[in-house]
């Protein structure tokens, strides 16, 4: 079920307003308020976020740079599509980078880092089993941020940040699958056990397995959606 528009209202704090508008529209895309291939009318976005057209346009430029939307001449901004082939490439990179992050966390994280990650996992588990799509995405992002904090590799963090918007889009796709939330909790629980034990090899293996399973789920959904669109197009 899509999140109600009230979840995308923006708090009017001047110093963070531009960032908040961008995050609000990004979240609306990630939880399916706007679907791939769907137009993003400025008027509707202004009403949804309760901000000016100028701020909405600035947010759209940022989202275009992230690869979440693209602008079609005479039609305006449209939510981008991730093809199964593109998704496969992103997941291949994710598996290597996040596996490395898990390995480095096991080796270098402090007790404070580990405690923060455990707290983030508790919040994520609750959201995955009982929360809204927006809660699930925000807590998943928080969990991975704590993981990267403990890994302590700035280059790794910056590289993953470049992929972040599309990673989140695929993450929201995989989480749509029935039973995926419980499976994800089990996979991340195994990862956390390895991290607590400071077993770098097992942590990397668990992190890679989690990404591979998410890839299989998300790419399956993307392929099914593509086939359905082709079928509907032939019948039209």
- Asked if residue 9 is part of any domain, the answer here is no
Domain boundary among 61, 79, 97: 79
- Asked if residue 6 is part of any domain, the answer here is no
Report the pLDDT value the prediction gives residue 7, as an integer from 0 to 100: 72
Contact 192, 119 (CB under 8 A): no
- 96 and 129 share a domain? yes
Report the pLDDT value the prediction gives residue 148, as an integer from 0 to 100: 97
Report the pLDDT value the prediction gives residue 166, as an integer from 0 to 100: 86
- 58 and 102 share a domain? no
Bridge partners, 68 (sequence order): none
- 71 and 112 share a domain? no
- 18 and 113 share a domain? no
Bridge partners, 100 (sequence order): none
Cβ-proximal residues to 98 (8 Å cutoff; 6+ apart), any chain: 144, 147, 160, 207, 208, 210, 211
Handedness of CA 173, 179, 182, 185 (dihedral sign): negative
- Asked if residue 193 is part of any domain, the answer here is yes
Query: Which helix (H) or strand (E) is 219 found in, with range?
Result: helix 200-235
Residue 12 has pLDDT above 70, yes or no: no
Domain boundary among 79, 108, 135: 79
* CA pair distance 167, 176, nearest whole angstrom: 15
The CATH code of the domain that includes 216 is 1.20.120.530
- 108 and 191 share a domain? yes
- 75 and 93 share a domain? no
Report the pLDDT value the prediction gives residue 85, as an integer from 0 to 100: 95
The Cα-based distances of 226 to 82, 103, 136, 211, 212 in angstroms read 10, 36, 25, 22, 21
Range of the domain at 69: 14-79
Confidence of residue 228 (pLDDT cuts 50, 70, 90): confident
Report the pLDDT value the prediction gives residue 234, as an integer from 0 to 100: 61
- 88 and 73 share a domain? no
pLDDT digits (tens, 9 = 90+) for 51-66: 999 999 999 999 999 8
> What is the chain's mean pLDDT, rounded?
90
Handedness of CA 48, 75, 221, 189 (dihedral sign): negative
- 164 and 140 share a domain? yes
Report the pLDDT value the prediction gives residue 2, as an integer from 0 to 100: 58
- Asked if residue 5 is part of any domain, the answer here is no
Task: Name the most confidently modeled range: 6-20, 95-109, 163-177.
Answer: 95-109
The Cα-based distances of 19 to 27, 30, 49, 138, 217 in angstroms read 12, 16, 12, 15, 31
- 204 and 138 share a domain? yes
- Asked if residue 216 is part of any domain, the answer here is yes
Report the pLDDT value the prediction gives residue 3, as an integer from 0 to 100: 59
- Asked if residue 69 is part of any domain, the answer here is yes
- Asked if residue 8 is part of any domain, the answer here is no
Domain count of the fold of the chain: 2
Confidence of residue 92 (pLDDT cuts 50, 70, 90): very high
- Asked if residue 3 is part of any domain, the answer here is no
pTM for the model: 0.83
The CATH code of the domain that includes 24 is 1.10.10.10
pLDDT digits (tens, 9 = 90+) for 121-159: 999 999 998 998 889 989 999 999 999 999 999 999 999
Please give the backbone phi and psi of residue 39, each rounded to the nearest 5 degrees, phi first. Answer: -70, 155
Report the pLDDT value the prediction gives residue 153, as an integer from 0 to 100: 97
- 72 and 55 share a domain? yes
Residue 215 has pLDDT above 80, yes or no: yes
Confidence of residue 37 (pLDDT cuts 50, 70, 90): confident
Domain boundary among 53, 79, 105: 79
- 170 and 125 share a domain? yes
Report the pLDDT value the prediction gives residue 61, as an integer from 0 to 100: 94
Residue 148 half-sphere exposure, CB side, CA atoms within 13 Å?
18
Closest C-alpha to 195, from 77, 85, 114, 100: 114
- 34 and 124 share a domain? no
Instruction: Among 76-80, 163-167, 204-208, name the one with the lowest average pLDDT.
Output: 163-167
Provide mean pLDDT across the span 205-211.
Answer: 97
């Amino acid at each position: 079920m899509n999140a109600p528009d009230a979840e995308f209202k923006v708090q009017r704090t001047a110093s963070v307003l531009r960032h908040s508008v961008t995050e609000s529209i990004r979240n609306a895309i990630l939880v399916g308020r706007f679907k791939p291939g769907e137009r993003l009318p400025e008027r509707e976005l202004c009403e949804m976020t309760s901000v000016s057209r100028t701020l909405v346009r600035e947010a759209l430029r940022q989202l275009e740079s992230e690869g979440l939307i693209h602008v079609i001449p005479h039609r305006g901004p449209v939510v981008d599509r991730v093809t199964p082939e593109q998704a496969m490439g992103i997941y291949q990179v994710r598996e290597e980078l996040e596996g490395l992050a898990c390995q480095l966390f096991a080796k270098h994280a402090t007790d404070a880092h580990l405690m923060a990650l455990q707290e983030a996992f508790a919040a994520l588990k609750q959201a995955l089993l009982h929360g809204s799509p927006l809660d699930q995405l925000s807590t998943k992002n928080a969990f991975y941020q704590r993981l990267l904090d403990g890994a302590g590799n700035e280059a790794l963090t910056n590289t993953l940040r470049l992929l972040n918007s599309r990673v989140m889009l695929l993450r929201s796709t995989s989480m749509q699958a029935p039973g995926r939330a419980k499976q994800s909790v089990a996979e991340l629980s195994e990862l956390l056990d390895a991290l607590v034990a400071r077993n770098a090899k097992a942590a990397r293996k668990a992190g890679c397995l989690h990404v591979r399973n998410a890839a299989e789920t998300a790419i399956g959904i993307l392929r099914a959606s593509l086939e359905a669109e082709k079928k509907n197009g032939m019948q039209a």
